[in-house]
Amino acid sequence: MNTDKTQNSNASMHELRKLLFEKESARIDKLESILLNQGLHAQEVAKVLAEAVELRNRSDEELSIALAPTIEKSIQASIARDPQALSNALFPVMGPTIRKSIASTLAAMLQSLNQTLEHSFSKQGFLWRIEAVKTGKSFAEVVLLNTLIYRVEQVFLIHRETGVLLHHLSSDPTHTEDADVVSSMLTAVQDFIRDSFAGSTDQNIETLSMGDVQVLIEQGPDVVLAVVCRGNSPRTLHETMQVAIEDIQQNFVDELTAFDGDTEAFIATDEKLSPLLIADYKNKTEEKKSPLKAILFVALMFAIIFSWWAWHQIEISQTNTQWQSYLERLKAEPGIIVTGISDNDDVETITGLRDPLSQDPKALLAEYQLQNKNIHFEFEPYHALQPALILKRVSRLIQPPKSVELLLEDQTLLIRGVASEVWLTQAEQAALYVAGVESIDSTGLSILSSSFEQKQTHFPIKMDALPVKPKKNIIRKEEPKKKVVVTDAVILQRAISLLKPPTTVQMVYAKGILYVSGKASASWIDFAKHNFSKVEGIDSFYTSNLTNQGTKP
Amino acid sequence: MIQKKICILGAAGVGKTSLTAQFVFSKFSEKYLSSMGVKIDRKTVDVDGKQVNLMLWDIHGEEKYKKIPTSYLRGASGIMMVIDGTRPATLEMAQEILQRVETELGTIPHIYLLNKSDLTDAWSINDDDMQMLKNTGNPVFLTSAKTGDNVEASFLHLATALVTA
């Protein structure tokens, strides 16, 4: 019973709630669906995101700080994915920046070059060079000492109370690594000197000096400005520093008051401090003239270098031409075969084969003006079968008398002229040992009678030392031809050879008579009269036209 | 870049210079200590992703007739007070120095380094002294310049405290 009552009551309540809150219930369901739908969230946030970012940026910098890591990671991811996209986006910014930086560096280099050239090649520069040698200093150092009035090399902006370096500038951008330590030490040094000697915090150190380097110090209420200066700084530099301090104190009052060690804000002092990095040189008016002199000198140097280079090239070209001609000649030379030419460490090596009787390659070098060239010859010996060399070899072996001519035709040695029987016999035997001589033809040779054989040169070949005679062809005249008819010319020649007349004497032979005319000494005439009969074929000696010119031969 | 001036103080011979040498590579030689009474080094540390430049002023040890010049302490963000754990007298001297600094320059955040912790046999600082130091509310580190124990940790602790303060 009770259960039925409760069920009826719940149903009634449900009915009642439905009647009273049906519309509200539907709205709650709708709101719930909006809240649970993530897609609808994004749409709603997107509608107000830009306004929200702008509003937050106006109030503080928390959003920038919060977004920084995300943006950094996004950039890293973008570069990792496609570096070209970011590179393209930055190109319009990076290009001008890089150009400006390069132009600035080049300008500084040119200025330095102009100054160096001016001082290097002027009369004054020459004297300074001597001074540099005498004192053992570098030339640049001497130039600097003589031309520099002063130069500010470093500027330190220091927080007065803590000694912390707020900003630093240097004429040499690479010389900045320990500036913060130096800044603190500079503060400590001031404290030390003040504690040791001054005794009052109102008194300040204005200058620290060592050699030609000075540290000029100016104090402000919150900052200390120190400049490192080389040379003799003008008093006005202190005033310039004071103006810079006042400017910084005025423009950075909030940053200095709230200073807690963060030096980021003081990078902006750069424009106020950079005018302090100044230098003053002597002879400024002369410097303006210097580029012309320098340019002329450089042009002259270039001209000299170019001339030397051109001359060197011509010389190389000539040498190459001569070298090629020499090689052509060597290749064409009988008895020389060039198999290789190599160039190693300026040494030319020619390899090949060479007949010992051929032309000496070294002797040819002078002909091509290559005596000074470093050439190394590596020739293996061989016997060349070219006719000229075969004849040479035969001549060396059989040593023919002057009245004999040797020729080679189709491997046949032709012997022409006049010679003795003994010589011919030995020559025929020996010549056949020479490679390239297959047969001998001496049909063109006249054999002297036995009385003349004794006057022939002794044949030098030791026939016993020769091996067995090779079987080769020897063509000789028939035996009757052994008795030869001696011509008038031969008889005259023999007479001249025997009597050796002076140049003032003329001799003619005809029909057994030797006609002698001209001038001769009495002794020669006497000698001729006693010896003319030794020449076969001369029966009488006719001297009617011969004049005695005295006893001198 | 954030820069903080830190002074390293203590009686003579407590190991201040050795502690600094453990932590940094020095540019200036120790002759500055004997001549000027101070040697300055730099160490860059990373605190929560920020680079912090610690300018470490190693000031000569306090002796009876050679007081630490307070001008060197002006502008310091923090002090590392070094005590020799084998010499209780250096603890008293540390308290004297801190008192004088407070009188002349006001309160400067500081930590205590009980140095020479490797010399366990000669250790002379008792628990009461340790507790007394801890009761000041300033951190206390047992360090050894010889072994390097706790040296970097103590410097980093002070740097973090100064940056996050």
CATH at A158: 3.30.450.70
d(CA A409, CA A415): 11
**Is B53 a residue whose pLDDT tops 80?**
yes
pLDDT band with cut points at 50, 70 and 90 for residue A461? low
Which residues 351-390 on chain A approach chain B with CB closer than 8 angstroms? none
Q: Coil, strand or helix: which one is A456?
A: coil
pLDDT score of A456: 47
Residue with tokens 């230098």: A279
Q: What is the largest CA-CA distance in chain A?
A: 202
Considering only residues A448 and A249, tell me which one the structure prediction assigns the higher pLDDT.
A249
pLDDT band with cut points at 50, 70 and 90 for residue B34? low
d(CA B38, CA A81): 53
Q: Is A414 in contact with A406 (CB distance < 8 Å)?
A: yes
**Is A41 a residue whose pLDDT tops 90?**
no
| Mean pLDDT computed over B54-68 | 84
Same domain, yes or no: A149 and A254: yes
Smallest CA–CA distance, residue A93 to chain B, in Å, is 26
| Mean pLDDT computed over A467-480 | 57
**Is A486 a residue whose pLDDT tops 80?**
no
| Mean pLDDT computed over B41-69 | 86
Q: Per mean pLDDT, which of A85-99, A146-160, A215-229, A340-354 is the most reliable?
A: A215-229
Cβ <8 Å between A261 and B2: yes
Cβ <8 Å between A165 and B3: yes
Least confident of A139-148, A288-297, A460-469, A504-513: A460-469
**Is A332 a residue whose pLDDT tops 70?**
yes
Summarize pLDDT for B67-104 with one digit per residue, the tens: 888 888 989 999 999 999 999 999 999 999 999 889 88
Same domain, yes or no: A75 and A132: no
Whether ipTM tops 0.95, in short, is no
B40 vs A: CB within 8 A: yes
Strand boundaries in A429-477, DSSP class E: 439-447, 473-475
Q: Is B153 in contact with B113 (CB distance < 8 Å)?
A: no
Phi-psi region of A20 (alpha: psi -120 to 50; beta: other; left: phi over 0): alpha
pLDDT score of A552: 45
| Mean pLDDT computed over A12-39 | 84
How do strand A336-344 and strand A347-354 relate by DSSP bridges? antiparallel
d(CA B16, CA B151): 11
| Mean pLDDT computed over A58-67 | 83
- The minimal CB distance from A188 to the residues B1, B42, B72 is found for B72
Residues of B in contact with A192 (CB under 8 A): 36-38, 69
Summarize pLDDT for A408-420 with one digit per residue, the tens: 888 888 888 888 8
**Is A55 a residue whose pLDDT tops 90?**
no
* DSSP 8-state assignment for residue A310: H
Domain enclosing residue A201, as ranges: 127-282
| Mean pLDDT computed over A506-533 | 86
Domain enclosing residue B68, as ranges: 2-164
Residues of B in contact with A164 (CB under 8 A): 3-5, 55, 75
pLDDT score of A466: 52
Q: Per mean pLDDT, which of A161-175, A183-197, A424-438, B150-164 is the most reliable?
A: B150-164
A165 vs B: CB within 8 A: yes
- Among A374, A316, A318, A320, smallest CA distance to A345 is for A374
Summarize pLDDT for A335-363 with one digit per residue, the tens: 888 888 888 777 888 888 888 888 888 88
Average pLDDT, chain B: 88
Distances (CA, A) of A100 to A95, A270, B53: 9, 18, 32
Distances (CA, A) of A41 to A47, A55, A227, A389: 10, 20, 61, 112
What CATH number is associated with residue B62?
3.40.50.300
- The minimal CB distance from A188 to the residues B2, B27, B38 is found for B38
Cβ <8 Å between A164 and B3: yes
Smallest CA–CA distance, residue B124 to chain A, in Å, is 35
A167 vs B: CB within 8 A: no
B80 CB neighbour count, 10 Å cutoff? 24
- The minimal CB distance from A263 to the residues B1, B57, B162 is found for B1
Residues 6+ apart with CB under 8 A from A550: A521, A522
Same domain, yes or no: A211 and A74: no
Token duo for residue A344: 């190693």
A198 CB neighbour count, 10 Å cutoff? 13
Helices A83-121 and A284-332 meet at what angle, rounded to 10? 100
B76 vs A: CB within 8 A: yes
pLDDT band with cut points at 50, 70 and 90 for residue B25? low
Q: Is B145 in contact with B138 (CB distance < 8 Å)?
A: no
How do strand A148-159 and strand A279-281 relate by DSSP bridges? antiparallel
Same domain, yes or no: A272 and A139: yes
Cβ <8 Å between A192 and B27: no
pLDDT score of B113: 95
Considering only residues A481 and A32, tell me which one the structure prediction assigns the higher pLDDT.
A32
Distances (CA, A) of A79 to A66, A222, A390, B96, B138: 21, 44, 85, 59, 47
d(CA A85, CA A78): 8
**Is A472 a residue whose pLDDT tops 90?**
no
Cβ <8 Å between A162 and B75: yes
Average pLDDT, chain A: 80
Same domain, yes or no: A214 and A278: yes
Q: What is the largest CA-CA distance in chain B?
A: 44
Smallest CA–CA distance, residue B157 to chain A, in Å, is 17
Token duo for residue A219: 């104090």
d(CA A126, CA A118): 11
Same domain, yes or no: A476 and A522: no
Q: Is A447 in contact with A419 (CB distance < 8 Å)?
A: yes
The radius of gyration of chain B from alpha carbons, rounded to an integer in Å, stands at 15
d(CA A365, CA A372): 9
B122 vs A: CB within 8 A: no
Does A158 map to a domain? yes
pLDDT band with cut points at 50, 70 and 90 for residue B22? confident
| Mean pLDDT computed over B105-129 | 91
Percent helix, strand, coil in chain A (nearest 5)?
55, 20, 25
Q: Is A149 in contact with A232 (CB distance < 8 Å)?
A: yes
Cβ <8 Å between A180 and B72: no
Q: Which of A231, A253, A282 is the last residue of a domain?
A: A282
Which residues 53-112 on chain A approach chain B with CB closer than 8 angstroms? none
Residues of B in contact with A261 (CB under 8 A): 2-4, 52, 77, 162
Q: Coil, strand or helix: which one is B45?
A: strand
DSSP-H helix ranges across A347-467: 361-365, 387-398, 421-431, 450-453
Chain B residue at shortest CA distance from A182 = B40
How many structural domains is chain A composed of? 5
Cβ <8 Å between A184 and B77: no
**Is A13 a residue whose pLDDT tops 70?**
yes
How many structural domains is chain B composed of? 1
Does A9 map to a domain? no
Q: Coil, strand or helix: which one is A425?
A: helix
**Is A478 a residue whose pLDDT tops 60?**
no
d(CA A74, CA A61): 20
d(CA A185, CA B35): 13
Residues of A in contact with B42 (CB under 8 A): 178, 180-181, 184
Distances (CA, A) of A486 to A397, A496, A538, B74: 28, 15, 11, 139
Chain A residue at shortest CA distance from B41 = A181
Cβ <8 Å between A163 and B71: no
Least confident of A244-253, A462-471, B4-13: A462-471
Summarize pLDDT for A286-302 with one digit per residue, the tens: 555 567 778 888 999 99
Summarize pLDDT for A362-405 with one digit per residue, the tens: 888 888 888 778 888 888 888 888 888 888 888 888 888 888 88
